[in-house]
Amino acid sequence: MNFRLPIPIALHLLWQTARALAYAHDKKDRKGVPYHIVHRDISPANVMLSWEGAVKLGDFGIAKARYRMVTTLTGVLQGKFPYMSPEQGEGEEQDQRSDIFSFGTLAYELLAGVRPFDADTDLKTLEQIRLVRFLPLHRVRTDLPAELVEVVQTCLQKTREDRFDNGDQLERALA
């Protein structure tokens, strides 16, 4: 990406994407039991913008949920390498905080115009993600509000416990 979106437009896109993620993360069955949906593929290709400005989160094809009828193969990486969380890249169990990390990667790219984790090969990219090694967002784009940079930094924490727990917390932080 060679250009940077104005902050209000980027923030609108991110907030609406976080709202969609919050909806998926909070989805419950008829008895009120959470599905525990994890999208596992938050990336620019799966965030759609209509001509009217509506933002949709799509492609739940590799999502994981409590009632899922088909299970995925253990140890098989699914998703787009530059947007994986450290635990996803390691083939570990994922929860909603994995989506939060991927959202942070998406947010960083949308705001900075470059990916935080980008190398010559997929293996090197995964190594950067595993180490959570990237140039801080405020050094790439100095005009961003500190509160917005802090939200993205929280999403991109290596340890799951240091991230937002789910899309609802993320949405409230962006609001």
- Summarised one tens digit per residue, pLDDT across range 120-135 is 999 999 999 999 999 9
The confidence score (pLDDT) of residue 40 equals 86
Instruction: Return d(Cα 125, Cα 127) in angstroms, integer.
Output: 5
Most confident listed range (11-25, 43-57, 71-85): 11-25
- Please name the helix (run of DSSP H) or strand (run of DSSP E) that holds residue 55, with its range, or none: strand 55-57
The better pLDDT of the pair 80, 40 is held by 40
Helices and strands in the chain, H and E counts = 7, 2
The confidence score (pLDDT) of residue 70 equals 41
Instruction: Return d(Cα 142, Cα 138) in angstroms, integer.
Output: 5
User: What is the percent of the chain where pLDDT is above 90?
Assistant: 69
Q: Which residues are catalytic?
A: 41
- Global pTM? 0.88
The confidence score (pLDDT) of residue 20 equals 94
**Residue 49: other Cβ atoms inside 10 A:** 13
